[in-house]
Chain A
Amino acid sequence: MSDVSVARSGPSGATAPEGAERAAAVALHGVTKRFPGAGKAAEPVTAVDAIDLEIADGEFFSLLGPSGCGKTTTLRMIAGFEYPTAGSIRIFGEEVGLEPPNKRPVNTVFQSYALFPHMTVADNIAFGLQMQGVDRAETTRRVAEVIDLVQLQGREARRPKQLSGGQQQRVALARALVNHPKVLLLDEPLGALDLKLRQTMQVELKQLQERVGITFVYVTHDQEEALTMSDRIAVMDGGRLLQVGTPQAIYDRPRTRFVADFIGDTNLLTGTVVDASTARLGDGSPIRIETDRAEGSTVTVAIRPEQLGLRDPDHPRDPALDAVHGRVERLTFLGNATLYDVVADNDPTLRIRVRQGNAPGIEHFTAGDAVRVRWMPSSASALDD
C-alpha cells in the first residue's frame, strides 16, 4: 500500500517513526472529525479536534473521557466506520484513513457485542476467516483454538441469545481475536456487565492481552478501569487529547484541572506565584511548586488527599514538608482510612481534604481540632489551567 496522506494532514512522515525505527501500531496525526450540525443553519460539530497520538506495538492503550468527549469517534475512525474530516491514520506505518473497515488489519469488540443473532457461536467466530477466504480446515482449527482461549468449550452450537452477558462478551472477543488482528479495538466492552463480572473481566482481558501480545485500544469512561488495565491512557475532553501517559503519571501528575478532577479524588488549591519554585496559598502559606508562570499570577495546585498527612500543630515543623494550618471541620470514617475536611485558619475558602490511613500509631483527630496539613513538595503538581 502506498503512503497516501489524507488531505490537510501535516508533512507526511514528519512525526511518524518509519524506516529504521519500528512504526507505531497506530499513529494519528492531526485527525479531525466534524459532523454536520443538527439544524439547517447549524454549525458543524467538531467531535475530534486535530488529535496527534502514537500507540506502540503491544500496548494496552485506553482512551478515557466522559461521554461525548470524542473517544468513541476516534476509535470508530481507526476501525473505519467513520472517515476523518482531516488528518492521517496509520496502522503499522500504512495509511488507512480512507480505507473501508474490511480493508484494515484491525478488529473491533462492540459495546453491544453485535453478535450475529442468526448464527451459532462457532459461525459467529468463523465469519471473519470465511470472509478472508481461509480454508475450511484452517478455519476449524483456529476457531477451536480461540474458543479454548476464551473458555467457551461446549457452547459452539449455541445461539448468542442462549448465552449470558459475560459469555456473549467472550464470543465477541473470540470473533475478533481469531483473525489475529494487528490492533484490537474495544468500545466500552465491559459496560453492559454487572460490577462483579466487570472486575473479573478486567483482569481476564489484561491477561489475555499479555498472552496474545496484540495492541489493544480500549475506550472507556470508567477511570478505575483505565487505571487498572492500561499501559498508557489518553484522557480526552471536548474532542481534544488533554494528557497522554502511564496510569501513574496521569494520576500523580495531572496537567489540567479536568484530568486532575476526572481521575480520582483531588484537592485543587489556588496560589499566587512568588517565583519559579514557590507560590503562596490563600492563607499566606508558602509552598514549593515548579511553575513557569509569571510572578504574581495565579496557579492551581493539585494534591491527592492520600498524599497529605495530618499532624498536631504543636509538633516541630519538618522543613522538608510544606504545610497549611487549619481546623478539622468534618471527618468521615472509611474503615481502612479516614477522610478529614480541613479549613485553613486564615482563609475560610481554603479547604483541603486529607485521606489518612488507619494504621496503628497514626494520630487521630476529631472535628474542631487544630491541625497541620503537610505534604512532600514533590506530590503537588501545578496545573496548566
Chain B
Amino acid sequence: MSVLEMPGAGGPDVAEDSLARPRRAVDRVLAGNAWLVFAFLYLPIVVLIVYSFNDNQRVGIWTEASLRWYGEMFGNARVMDALRNSILVAIVSTAVATVLGTAAGLSMERYRYRGQRAFDGLLYLPVIIPDITMAVMLLLFFVQTFDLIFLATGIQFSRGLGTIMLAHVSFNISFVALVVRARLAGLDGALEEAAADLYANRWQAFRRVTLPLIAPGVAGGALLALTLSLDDVVIAEFVSGAGSTTLPVYVFGALRRGVTPLINAVSVLMLVGSILLVLMSLAVSRGRESSGG
C-alpha cells in the first residue's frame, strides 16, 4: 500500500500503487486497442476457417458443417497439381537459394575483394524492389534470353516450372544472404582461424566449425525462402507457362471466376502449411539457444 493513499479512499478495485490510478483510463484504452488489433488480424482467419467447413455452395450462406469442400479439394486434379507444383518449386528454389545465399553471405562477411561494396548493395535490391517490377523484369529477361538461345542454337526453351524456380531463386538468395550474414557477423572470426591453426583446411574449417555455428541462420534463411516461395503469386503468375500453375496462382485465378468455398479450403491448407513452417523456425531458434551458439 502506498503511503500516499488516504484511509478509506480506496475501494477494492484500487490499484496497489496509487501512482497508477490516474493512468487507468489510458491502460484501458491500450488494452482495448490490443484486442482490437488482435481481432483485426485474426477475425478474417477465423471466418475463413469456419466457412471452409460450410456445406453450402455459396460462400456467405451457412447451412451446416461438413468436410465436403476438403473432399472436393483433394479430389480436384487442378488443385492437387498446383499444390504439387508449389511444393516442388518451393523445395528446389529454397535448396538452391540457401546454398548460393549462404555462399554470398560468407563471401561478404569473411573476405575482401574488388567491387564488394557494389555487390553488397546490389544483392539486397530484390528485397526492396516491388514484386511487380521484379516480375516484369524477369519475364522480359526470360523472353529475351530464350529468343537469343533459339537464335544461337535452335533450341526453344519455354516458360514453366523451371522459370518459376529460377525467379524464386533470384529473390530468395538475397533473403538467405541477409539472414546468414547477420548470424556470421555475431561470430568470433578467431574461431575460423583457430580451426585453420588446428590443421583444418578451408573445407574442414567450414564443415566442422563455421557451418554448425551459422546453421540456425542458414535454417532460418531457408524457412524464410520456403515461405516466400509458397507465398508468391505475382512473380509466378508472370513467369509461369502453360501447365505450371502454382497454388497461389491457382487461387488467384479461381477468385476471378468468383469465390467458392473450395477456395476457403485451399486457403486453410496454405494457412496450416505456413503455421507449420513458423513452428519449425521457432523450434530451430530454440535449438540454437540450447546448443549455446
Contact of A102 among B188, B199, B293 (CB under 8 A): B199
Query: Knowing A114-B190, A118-B292 touch, does A101 contact B196 (C-beta < 8 A)?
Result: yes
Contact of B196 among A102, A111, A112, A179 (CB under 8 A): A102
A108 touches B197 (CB 8 A): yes
Tell me the smallest distance from the CB of A338 to a CB of chain B, in Å: 46
Q: Does B71 contact A (CB under 8 A)?
A: no
Report A115-161 residues with CB < 8 Å from chain B CB. Answer: 115-118, 127-128, 131-132, 159, 161
Query: Knowing A112-B190, A114-B190, A114-B191 touch, does A131 contact B200 (C-beta < 8 A)?
Result: yes
The contact string, 1 if C-beta is below 8 Å from chain B, for chain A 92-121, is: 000000001110001110111011111000
Q: Does A79 contact B (CB under 8 A)?
A: yes
A127 touches B293 (CB 8 A): no
Query: Knowing A102-B201, A110-B190, A118-B213 touch, does A161 contact B292 (C-beta < 8 A)?
Result: yes
**Residues of chain B lying within 8 A (CB to CB) of residue A106:** 197
Q: Does B20 contact A (CB under 8 A)?
A: no
Contact of B198 among A118, A127, A159 (CB under 8 A): A127
A161 to B190 alpha-carbon distance, docked (Å): 16
From B92-100, B132-140, B204-212, B230-238, give the one contacting chain A: B204-212
Shortest Cβ distance from B194 into A: residue: A114
A128 to B205 alpha-carbon distance, docked (Å): 11
A101 touches B188 (CB 8 A): no
A127 touches B195 (CB 8 A): yes
Q: Does B2 contact A (CB under 8 A)?
A: no
**Residues of chain A lying within 8 A (CB to CB) of residue B153:** none
Q: Does B156 contact A (CB under 8 A)?
A: no
Tell me the smallest distance from the CB of B163 to a CB of chain A, in Å: 39
A128 to B201 alpha-carbon distance, docked (Å): 11
**Residues of chain A lying within 8 A (CB to CB) of residue B213:** 116-118
Contact of A118 among B197, B204, B293 (CB under 8 A): B293
Q: Does A80 contact B (CB under 8 A)?
A: yes
**Residues of chain A lying within 8 A (CB to CB) of residue B208:** 127
Tell me the smallest distance from the CB of B187 to a CB of chain A, in Å: 9
B197 touches A79 (CB 8 A): yes
A80 to B195 alpha-carbon distance, docked (Å): 12
A159 to B196 alpha-carbon distance, docked (Å): 21
A150 to B200 alpha-carbon distance, docked (Å): 24
A302 to B237 alpha-carbon distance, docked (Å): 84
Q: Does A175 contact B (CB under 8 A)?
A: yes
**Residues of chain A lying within 8 A (CB to CB) of residue B204:** 131
B292 touches A159 (CB 8 A): yes
Q: Does A81 contact B (CB under 8 A)?
A: yes
Q: Counting chain A CB atoms within 10 Å of each CB, which of B195, B196, B208 scores highest?
A: B196
B293 touches A131 (CB 8 A): no
**Residues of chain B lying within 8 A (CB to CB) of residue A176:** 197
Query: Knowing A114-B191, A127-B208 touch, does A107 contact B197 (C-beta < 8 A)?
Result: yes
A-B contacts, 29 listed (Cβ < 8 Å): A79-B197, A80-B197, A101-B196, A102-B197, A102-B200, A102-B201, A108-B193, A108-B194, A108-B197, A110-B193, A110-B194, A112-B190, A114-B191, A114-B193, A115-B194, A116-B195, A117-B213, A117-B292, A118-B213, A118-B291, A118-B293, A127-B195, A127-B198, A127-B208, A128-B199, A131-B198, A131-B199, A161-B292, A176-B197
Beyond contacts A118-B293, A175-B194: 11 other A-B pairs, Cβ-Cβ < 8 A, are: A80-B197, A81-B196, A100-B196, A106-B197, A116-B213, A117-B293, A118-B212, A118-B292, A127-B200, A131-B200, A131-B204
